[in-house]
Every structure is written in structure tokens, then in C-alpha cells.
Amino acid sequence: MQKLTWQRIVLKVGSALIAPEQDGCRSRYLLSIAQFIVRCRARGIEVILVSSGSVAAGAHLFPTDKPRTVTMKKAMAAAGQTEMMAMWDRFFDFPSAQILLTHGDLRDRERYESIRETTFTLLENGVLPIINENDTVTTDDLKVGDNDNLSAMVAAAADADALIIFSDVKGLYDKNPNLHDDAILLPEIKSIDESVYAMAGCATSAVGTGGMKTKIEAAEKATSHGIATYIANGFEDETFSKLLDGENPGTIFTPYEKPMQEAVHWMTHTANEQGEVVVDGTFDESEEGETGCIRGDEIMEVHGEFAVGDTILVRNEDGTRLAKATANYSSCLLNFIADNEQSEFSEKMQGSIGPIISEKDIALLEKS
């Protein structure tokens, strides 16, 4: 048993807990979660709730004999979101607030900062932020796709101490427990690699959009920001008492000893690259061990269209992903430099412009 030191936590609640029969919201499993939130707040712990379930909550309002098209699901989400928020609000004697997000909101740095500021202001004033993906308006290009990964992005944005993903399983097993009776629960994961992903198998919920793989992805995002991540069974009452007693009810993914800085984490795990630059070689390091910048004469190719300030991928000619970075120049100008590398005009231009990528706006990627 350990004394709780959390100051701020993010809870992710899946669709299977919200609307287990897909016929509207049900309080059967949510009352225990709501009581857990109340008890955390009573201890001075700030709570942010990421709640799935709008589509499942609204499904009963639409014909069952028609195919579930994308448009139909968007309508279900619109109707189900109000029902879900009303249900959560009934559990509490303190105010809550709805925040609907898309990946487009999170990957835009200005909007990301706005989300942070709004969330912090709500918490400072005792309001419970309840967050969900904005399924009604999102598109393939703008969606996160699952609330496991969304909860990790929210936890990073909110500088949380812990992310707790409530699921319909107890945690991560060495093999799929639905198929293997001898599956063993893994109480602690100290590092996430391909072997951990392999243990996730293909287990999915009959109601939600995620599975164990997305939960591990979320854990990888969160732990790299220094956030302890739990996967626990939200159907069992003992889960909540164990958490409040400082015990691990399922699987805990331990955070990095040296977490990524906030801006680097956002660039690595949240921002999508708008294009890519192929460079000659790798990054230089200074004597102090700092990552060097990329100069114009190191550019081999430019792919995609991007503007100043957009996030881009930097790779070398053999395809190795080197880094994600903020572009100091547009793709149009960099294409011109790459295409006219040997010209006299380009040589003069190379000397007159600054670095293509600055070392303060770069996130190195692990080489495969």
C-alpha cells in the first residue's frame, strides 16, 4: 500500500460502462465511478473525466433496421451526448462542463494551448471537465478515433499525475484472457515495446471503438510525459477502493524517469506532420550534446505542402524517421532550395536564411 500523492488525475470511461446494452445510458456501473470521483475531490485531487459513449447512448433513438452509416453515427452521437452529460450531471452536487474535441483541435498549437487554459480554469473553480471526441463534426482527417488515445493526450495537456483507463478487463494479460484460461495478469509494465503490444492481441469491446492495443498506445503517450497509467476493471467495486488505498487493482505502466518536455511531447504524440523533409545524414550534436539544426544545403527532397510553423517529419534517404519538428520555412521555399541546390542564386540564398529547423523546436524519434 502506498500513500496517494496525486494532485490531478484523468479518468477514461468506456462505452461499455456508459451504455452496456446500447439502449441508452445506464447508472449500473457509473454510480461507483461517480462516487470515486467525489471521494477523490474530497481528498483534494482534481479530476478530469474523459467519457466515451455518446454513440452507444443515442443508438436506441434511431431505427435498428437501417445500416449504421457514418451520418447515422454522427446523429446518434449528437443525441446521445446530451443524454450522457445529463446522466453524469445527476450524480454530482458540483458543476460539470462539457468539452468536445477533435484531433484537429489538439494538433493545432494555438488551440491546444486554449484547451489547456480552459481546463485549468475549470479545475481552479471546482468545475469537473467532462471531455469526449466531437463525433458529430469530426472527419477521418480530424479524428483521434478512440478515447483511450484522447485521454492520454488530455492527460498530457493537463499535466496530470495519473491516467486511469476503466475497462471491461482487469488489465493487461500475457495473452487474451477471453481465449486462454491460463492467461496471467501483468501487474506492472516498466517499458513498452513490441512484445507488450504483441500481448494485446486483437481483443476489442463489443460496444466501444478501442481495444487493448489502443490502451497500450495511450499508456505509451502518457508515461513518456511522466504520467503513471492504470488499466483497471470499471465493473468491479473493489477497483475503486483499491485505488483510493494506494493499491494497484490491475496493470500499472510506470512513467519515464526523465519525461519529455511538454512541447516536445505534444510534437511527438499529438501533432500530425503536414509534410516531410528528406535530409542528407543525421543531426549533428554540439559539444554540449545538444541537437543541431538542419541547414538548407542538407535538404535532399521535400514532400507535401506545409507552411511556416507547421509540424513536419524529418527523415534520411533510407527512410529512417529522425525527428518531428516545426518548420521555419514553407514547403514552397524549401522545394525551391532543394531543386536549385547548385545554382548561384540558391547558394546566395542558402547563406542569407536561417536554419530550416531550430533545435528548440524538434523532437527526436527513436530509430527502428
3-state SS of 301-317 is EEECCCCCCCEEEEEEC
DSSP designation for 174: S
The pLDDT value given to residue 2: 57
Q: Containing domain of residue 294, as a range?
A: 273-364
**Cell reading at 36:** 470515486
Residues 162 and 30 occupy one common structural domain: yes
Residue 208 has pLDDT above 50, yes or no: no
Cβ pair 61, 79 in contact under 8 A: yes
Cβ pair 10, 50 in contact under 8 A: yes
Q: Which residues pair with 364 in a beta bridge?
A: 323
Kind of pairing between the strands at 162-167 and 228-233:
parallel
Residue 22 identity: Q
Cβ pair 197, 213 in contact under 8 A: yes
- How many C-beta atoms lie closer than 10 Å to residue 292's C-beta? 16
Residues 48 and 193 occupy one common structural domain: yes
The pLDDT value given to residue 288: 41
Alpha-carbon distance of 36 to 24, in angstroms, equals 22
Give me the mean pLDDT over the 307-314 stretch: 88
Give a yes or no: residue 3 inside a domain: no
Residues 139 and 196 occupy one common structural domain: yes
- The residue among 239, 265, 291 that closes a domain is 265
Residues 108 and 124 occupy one common structural domain: yes
- Residue that wins the pLDDT comparison between 301 and 11: 11
Indicate the Cα dihedral angle 196, 197, 202, 207, nearest 10°. Answer: 90
Give a yes or no: residue 36 inside a domain: yes
Give me the mean pLDDT over the 6-30 stretch: 88
Residues 287 and 218 occupy one common structural domain: no
The pLDDT value given to residue 164: 97
Alpha-carbon distance of 206 to 151, in angstroms, equals 20
Number of domains in the chain: 2
**Cell reading at 174:** 500475457
Give me the mean pLDDT over the 150-174 stretch: 93
Residue 210 identity: G
The pLDDT value given to residue 209: 42
- The residue among 265, 288, 317 that closes a domain is 265
Residues 257 and 281 occupy one common structural domain: no
Residues 141 and 181 occupy one common structural domain: yes
Q: What is the mean pLDDT of the chain?
A: 84
Cβ pair 214, 240 in contact under 8 A: no
pLDDT in tens, 60-91: 899 988 888 989 999 999 999 999 999 999 99
Give a yes or no: residue 156 inside a domain: yes
Q: What's the CATH number where 286 sits?
A: 2.30.130.10
Cβ pair 360, 264 in contact under 8 A: no
Confidence of residue 292 (pLDDT cuts 50, 70, 90): low
Give a yes or no: residue 21 inside a domain: yes
Give me the mean pLDDT over the 315-322 stretch: 86
Confidence of residue 10 (pLDDT cuts 50, 70, 90): very high
Q: What's the CATH number where 177 sits?
A: 3.40.1160.10
Task: Report the half-sphere exposure of 258 (CA within 13 A, side-chain side).
Answer: 0
pTM of the model: 0.78
Give 70's contacts (C-beta < 8 A, 6+ positions apart): none
Give a yes or no: residue 1 inside a domain: no
pLDDT in tens, 219-274: 999 999 899 999 999 999 999 999 999 999 999 999 988 877 777 777 777 777 88
Alpha-carbon distance of 303 to 290, in angstroms, equals 27
**Strand runs (DSSP E) across 102-234, as ranges?**
128-133, 162-167, 188-189, 228-233
Residues 278 and 255 occupy one common structural domain: no
Question: Residue holding cell 446522466?
Answer: 87
Alpha-carbon distance of 176 to 173, in angstroms, equals 6
Residues 249 and 295 occupy one common structural domain: no
Residue 49 has pLDDT above 80, yes or no: yes
Residues 66 and 105 occupy one common structural domain: yes
Residues 144 and 249 occupy one common structural domain: yes
**Cell reading at 100:** 468536445
Residue 21 has pLDDT above 50, yes or no: yes
**Cell reading at 238:** 473493489
Give me the mean pLDDT over the 16-36 stretch: 87
Residue 204 has pLDDT above 50, yes or no: no
- The residue among 233, 265, 297 that closes a domain is 265
Residue 333 identity: L
Indicate the Cα dihedral angle 197, 200, 206, 210, nearest 10°. Answer: -20
Give 55's contacts (C-beta < 8 A, 6+ positions apart): 15, 73, 76, 77, 80, 135
Residue 205 has pLDDT above 50, yes or no: no
Residues 224 and 348 occupy one common structural domain: no
Residue 367 has pLDDT above 50, yes or no: no
What is the CA angle 106-113-77, rounded to 5? 40
DSSP string, 69-114: -HHHHHHHHHHHHHHHHHHHHHH-SS-EEEEEE-HHHHHSHHHHHH
Residue 47 has pLDDT above 80, yes or no: yes
Question: Residue holding cell 494485446?
Answer: 200
Give a yes or no: residue 87 inside a domain: yes
Three-state DSSP at 186 gives coil
Give a yes or no: residue 240 inside a domain: yes
pLDDT in tens, 139-161: 766 677 788 999 999 999 999 99
Give a yes or no: residue 60 inside a domain: yes
Give me the mean pLDDT over the 289-304 stretch: 71
Alpha-carbon distance of 312 to 324, in angstroms, equals 6
The pLDDT value given to residue 4: 79
